[in-house]
Structure 1
């Protein structure tokens, strides 16, 4: 283990890079606090943990395990590497083994088979489920407790293996998507599992936010309802949907509730008990929250870092993530784009990294889409004195740390950046020692599962010293003993930042973290204002399980699983009865005296997609060998694996020969090329219908449906490493349209003149107002910022005015824009207050800067935005 002080010296290069450090934060060490093993804990499991090096558990592990064993829903929200898995596996595996032992003692009784309990483990990604499978197998082997049958089951599981899991699995590891599409609709095949379900483990539950979180909340309610139906009867009397504590019964010293106990593991978030209760559909008082982290933590040195200026150079030629080669001859515009989409670990749910870098995001468009109402995405003028790109800087730092013997993760914002950092780092290390280059690799979504498992094993075992990764490794895959973490650009939330930073110095050792700023005002602000990072609490997990746009298709799915009864309605929340009436009126459900029924031939589960991925992944196949190299998400395929695109896989370059969208296949050939490809696209926003419209004098407020259409038009080849343009090729790609709902307000020239907002200030004032209003709407609409998109433009073709749009980032809308329209004056006053009361001089993340602005938060005019909002609100109704 390399000492942190030595690693900081490596970063500083003997003082040559000291001017790049804007702040050093010393986070003190924390001693661990242990507790005795619970008396009820299975002795073989305890022996297994001890043989794996856990002599005694940490106090927070015992507190969470005790709460779960007593029959209470429990959420454990502690830092990365604090051992959350022990807290949920100890009670759940003990319960299963107790049932196994009871069956062995009296094998002749017919009810013995039904008494053997089961556990369902849910997590956001297949990678995490596979990692937990390895960990549990290791524990059971160490404790000689091989009588527990553990398996993963997801969309990749074959029919025969799936049938074995249905019949024999004691611990089943899967994800919410499989639960929604396969397990719940076919619940009769899973009757044994559901009827014996003791615990449901919901890992990394902070990932369930926004619309994705609302979907998962509905899925968990459907699960509770079916489990209760299978567990009702002579064994314990009538089941209580939602696991109400009134139905408790003692069994073997363990309090059992009728229905499973939920164990949730989370990163450190704001008010985890409230979030967990909202996810499960219970009262916060019914959830025990354990938040005091008693695991040891070594001293952590957190460095804020800004790359150096490159005088006289053009940023477009130097930034290895710049999507376009040269600025187009158009004025600076609002070209915001979503970075890493929620619900998937590296943005793969919607696109490959930032839309401002390489791809489009038709299902989750980001803030802003064009100048003068055209919707064209163009490159704004770059600063006169650009700085070195964060990815290039991180590659240098990673090479130096690797050469010094450190084990490091380098987090990047996109898949392209992960490959770039790994490749450049390897090139640097070859100049020192050829053998060192083999100690660095890339890790990202789109790799085949076996390749990702091999990389995880290699970094865990020390065969690799460094991985350049997307946020795919942010979640709880068990990688310990790392010396340092490099973060190329603000990851979007403080929860993500601390999750990534927590990889350094795990297991109580010292660690070094460096946040390297991208050339973006948000990143620049943060590295120069450390209080915004270190003195600001982490965000809450925000989602609305009663959102009718989300809940309606799940009520249909629930009715298809089992007819909905009146007694089921409280489980799904207030307003459910009224929503069912609407579904009956529209013919989706049929009402009978006994309940609500799904009577259609098509599966109701197909009415909605939890993540909104937009289609099946596109397989990338090597033409000559037929080997599958990986996958690209459907939303990213047009811009990343179009004909002629360069596809990089672990440093090897391939060129796409053919993209067959109908077959979800891209054929590539292995070629050594000295260039990369960057897609160019157009996006337009069109009002298709106006549902409601009101006038505030000269101001028009509108709500209706819009089409956000994106089409890849061409791509450019740029020479690497100098990024000179060497060619442009036209493409014929299909247009992708997101039909959604939006709210908009206009700012006529007379209003802008009254506010003193000149033509030069108008783009920045509108842009700042758009960013701030998107940041404030989640307070009124119970959504997440990533659930929204927007546009601000001096002249929109449909309104004929300067207009600010905010739209739902989901097909058909999700109710957020509609809520904004209903609370227009309240919303805009809150927006104005947030900007005006912020103590910054010209705009910061607390007011007008956005963490997902693809136009690098430019232009922004804070003062002009306040004046403009004052002028607009002067016409607002007084009520």
Structure 2
């Protein structure tokens, strides 16, 4: 197979570099080190423990197997021995890591006397209710958990955890590089909420982060916490020689992986095979079961979806040497201890230099010589590195990016925070101006509510935490098996439109399901288990609107801008493609509602001159810019730590706001994740790399290596590779524009709030209208037949005359003339009820009247309706004198005088509520907790 090796590089090992901590550890801690036969700390371990022991925030970003565990265990154990009331919280992205680290912690402390030995416990979804209560009531020195448990079980019930939180001195965050993109945006708010609660209990913990080698560890951790973090990136650990082999197979990558695995097993090499998907893990494992012969019982698959006890067993067998090989998804990329390995086979480029080094770092742990084989797939990045291997080795690890102020994600966490602890103006969270601005915006929208005094802010929700998924931006839908009603998976709402629509094929644990119903109302997707020989791919129409421009610059021969976009995506149908070969079997139309979301994105404004030249050369311009969009998205993971599935794109030969052709690339999640913001900063490299990847590809018309996208909504049509090269060469080699033309969109520096113009014009005359009916809803057959109810009395207050006018049913035409003279008609439920009743008396277009319905405004703010009596009593301390049923009784008794007084009182109350709201910018109401809270209004 040697002719398929395109590059081989031997990376020399290095000797260990040691260091001494500034202050000696206590004899107890030194005895723990002696027991583990550790005579000296590596230089990075010594430096990191200095910072952690001093209560300062630190991140250690060194390669796999460099001993990062000691950097937090030693300071934590020392602190717990010094002060038995001290506590530490360890956070791991995977439950398996927590179990692994518990074992390590207990092994380290096993020699200490039982009376002083710090206890540790795992608190996660596998912990029994009895054990959870025990941990809460008598918290151990160290709790090992994951982000979901912190978000769902600890923060909402912090009062139960007060002894633990009050003594919290260290927060350990392992594998922090995984907290990027969407999850990073969530964790930025989770950490801020945690620090807020800690301060409430008088604690000021410091952070110890550990990370794989990443380009910007300090910046990443600063974005996550808002705190200053010291970064340690030089490893003092020894390492063995490592062979890196780039392998471009002539057969399929999976067949090549199987051949190489077989060769490794025959030589007794302990091997790990990484695949890009669960499906490939299962397929290679199936080969193992069928053809591995004597090695059959010494190989296992490993991925998410296995039961915890299954994963523990595999980890234990790998660590003991009972298993010779494991086939895994990224689940084993993180630092779970599975012993020393010799060979790492990567089926496809993992998407980043960082992930490649992280996975490759699992081999050669005992300083033995090892090998990492990267098997290329058809993907653009795989083939790019096969042609430019030197670029891989000269390239620094990518920067991990996140948007700590994603407005969609921030809103959900602020609602959670207000629920955990009432927000005040001097709140820890509100020291951040961007969070403070968002809180004020949520107040205006009625999502958060201020109390009557105006010094506290409450959540409108009782327990909002379960509606927030830390690994997605949208709300979560549950996928159910129609036969058993069992839950088979979850999916984000945004992804559900394109992956869980009716007719879509969904794969779970090797089984195929056909989606029968996407029920957004009940948040459920119903799927039936069926064996089919095809997969589905959604077809979409997309459009984008530019809302704000954050930054703009000249890039070679074009203008590129970065800003806030509104993206509209509509799934119009789906393709059925054969599993073998991917042949198109048919297209099915769908009638789906559009998905509209705001995000961040960059766009390339291609000059009309480039378009004209293309047309003069008879080049397919639209096919060219569409291909540029695909190639740019495919190459972006070279610049930003992301996956192409996290990005979206739109290319158009004529965009109305740009007034010309444009290619848009945007973050594929509501609110944005900071991906295109970083890409915009590297705009020149993005264009050069995009051109290079297309030029280097040996295909004739375009393929997945260069300009085809596996997730294109239009099935990669139209696509023109030659046109893409022509357009890009004109962009890169073109003359820079003389000036940047201004668009009719406001240029707003990133992070600053747009000052919106408000209409302060007030009506000179207004009227307040209320009517009482002759018949009840029951009498006429329901509220939907209000036009049959008749009018007993109508009362209209005229602000110009400061007078109440009364109209009986036969005087309604006269009242309408009066209404037409007023600049504004005000009522409470006037549009849905009063006007409908009046329409049965006199045929007039009541909707033509300038109307302000206070109930509609309240509903728009809160999402639910309130009674006038609630608002009136809280706002102007005035109650209704009666109710509608009493008024109907009076009508039957002929007491029109009493009905009129009651109706007049309603009108006066509505008027006073309106005037209070207009003057103060809010009204009051009593919420479900019996607290009087402010509801901001603009009327």
Give 1:173 shift: 1.7
1:442 alignment partner, one of 292, 301, 311: 301
Q: Name the residue aligned to 1:117.
A: 86
Matched, 1:708 2:569: yes
Q: Which of structures 1 and 2 has the bigger CA Rg?
A: 2
1:264 alignment partner, one of 209, 217, 237: 209
Q: Name the residue aligned to 2:145.
A: 174
Matched, 1:229 2:229: no
Distance 2:10 2:481 in 1: 48
Matched, 1:78 2:62: yes
Taking the TM superposition and a 5 Å limit, the aligned residue runs for 1:193-232 are 193-231=164-202
Matched, 1:461 2:406: no
Q: Secondary structure in 2 aligned to 1:417?
A: helix
Q: Contact (CA 8 Å) 1:646, 1:677: kept in 2 or not?
A: no
Q: Contact (CA 8 Å) 1:621, 1:668: kept in 2 or not?
A: yes
Give 1:776 shift: 7.9
- Structure 1 residues 142 and 791: CA distance shift in structure 2, 3 A: farther
Q: Name the residue aligned to 1:402.
A: 265
Q: Name the residue aligned to 2:344.
A: 485
Taking the TM superposition and a 5 Å limit, the aligned residue runs for 1:27-176 are 27-35=11-19, 41=25, 43=27, 46-52=30-36, 54-100=38-84, 116-141=85-110, 147-170=117-140, 171-176=142-147
Distance 1:173 1:51 in 2: 24
Matched, 1:805 2:672: no
Q: Secondary structure in 2 aligned to 1:275?
A: helix
Distance 2:430 2:399 in 1: 23
Distance 1:655 1:523 in 2: 29
Give 1:400 shift: 1.4
- Structure 1 residues 177 and 759: CA distance shift in structure 2, 3 A: farther
Q: Secondary structure in 2 aligned to 1:612?
A: coil
Higher mean C-alpha deviation, range 594-603 or range 657-666:
657-666
- Structure 1 residues 574 and 614: CA distance shift in structure 2, 3 A: closer
Q: Contact (CA 8 Å) 2:443, 2:450: kept in 1 or not?
A: yes
Q: Name the residue aligned to 2:540.
A: 684
- Structure 1 residues 871 and 607: CA distance shift in structure 2, 3 A: farther
Cα deviation code 1:715-750 (max 9, x no counterpart) = 56657xxx698x979999996964323666786987
Q: Name the residue aligned to 2:280.
A: 417
Distance 2:218 2:259 in 1: 42
Distance 2:573 2:658 in 1: 26
Q: Name the residue aligned to 1:788.
A: 647
Q: Contact (CA 8 Å) 2:652, 2:662: kept in 1 or not?
A: yes
Identify which of structures 1 and 2 has the higher relative contact order when contacts are C-alpha pairs closer than 8 Å and 6+ apart.
1
- Structure 1 residues 504 and 589: CA distance shift in structure 2, 3 A: same
- Structure 1 residues 639 and 589: CA distance shift in structure 2, 3 A: closer
Distance 1:642 1:466 in 2: 40
Matched, 1:877 2:741: yes
Matched, 1:835 2:698: no
Taking the TM superposition and a 5 Å limit, the aligned residue runs for 1:368-767 are 388-429=251-292, 434-568=293-427, 573-591=432-450, 595-605=455-465, 608-612=468-472, 677-687=533-543, 705-710=566-571, 713=574, 718=579, 738-741=595-598, 752-755=611-614, 758-760=618-620, 762-767=622-627
Distance 1:588 1:563 in 2: 14
Distance 1:212 1:832 in 2: 29
Distance 1:393 1:797 in 2: 49
Higher mean C-alpha deviation, range 528-537 or range 653-662:
653-662
- Structure 1 residues 645 and 447: CA distance shift in structure 2, 3 A: farther
- Structure 1 residues 35 and 863: CA distance shift in structure 2, 3 A: same
- Structure 1 residues 761 and 734: CA distance shift in structure 2, 3 A: closer
- Structure 1 residues 704 and 192: CA distance shift in structure 2, 3 A: same
Distance 2:245 2:411 in 1: 47
Q: Secondary structure in 1 aligned to 2:397?
A: coil
**Which runs of 5 or more structure 1 residues have no equivalent in the other structure?**
1-16, 101-115, 232-257, 309-387, 821-825
- Structure 1 residues 532 and 477: CA distance shift in structure 2, 3 A: same
**Superposition RMSD in Å:** 4.7
Distance 1:440 1:32 in 2: 33
Q: Name the residue aligned to 2:935.
A: none
Distance 1:52 1:735 in 2: 62
Work out the number of aligned pairs and report it: 711
Q: Name the residue aligned to 1:255.
A: none
Give 1:518 shift: 0.7
Q: Name the residue aligned to 2:230.
A: 288
Give 1:591 shift: 3.9
Distance 1:852 1:79 in 2: 35
Give 1:87 shift: 1.1
Q: Contact (CA 8 Å) 2:511, 2:529: kept in 1 or not?
A: yes
Give 1:454 shift: 1.7
Q: Secondary structure in 2 aligned to 1:89?
A: helix
**Which runs of 5 or more structure 2 residues have no equivalent in the other structure?**
698-703, 744-939
- Structure 1 residues 659 and 154: CA distance shift in structure 2, 3 A: farther
Q: Secondary structure in 2 aligned to 1:568?
A: coil
Distance 1:778 1:130 in 2: 34
Q: Contact (CA 8 Å) 2:192, 2:429: kept in 1 or not?
A: no
Cα deviation code 1:61-88 (max 9, x no counterpart) = 2221122011111111110011111111
Q: Name the residue aligned to 1:375.
A: none
Give 1:140 shift: 3.2
- Structure 1 residues 729 and 642: CA distance shift in structure 2, 3 A: farther
- Structure 1 residues 157 and 774: CA distance shift in structure 2, 3 A: same
Q: Contact (CA 8 Å) 1:778, 1:784: kept in 2 or not?
A: no
Distance 2:388 2:474 in 1: 39
Distance 2:571 2:692 in 1: 36
2:221 alignment partner, one of 251, 271, 276: 276
Distance 1:295 1:226 in 2: 37
Give 1:48 shift: 4.7
Cα deviation code 1:566-624 (max 9, x no counterpart) = 44357753333333322222222234667441241343546743321766686898989
Give 1:58 shift: 2.3
Distance 1:668 1:167 in 2: 44
Q: Name the residue aligned to 1:184.
A: 155
Q: Secondary structure in 2 aligned to 1:603?
A: coil
Taking the TM superposition and a 5 Å limit, the aligned residue runs for 1:230-245 are 230-231=201-202
Give 1:660 shift: 8.3
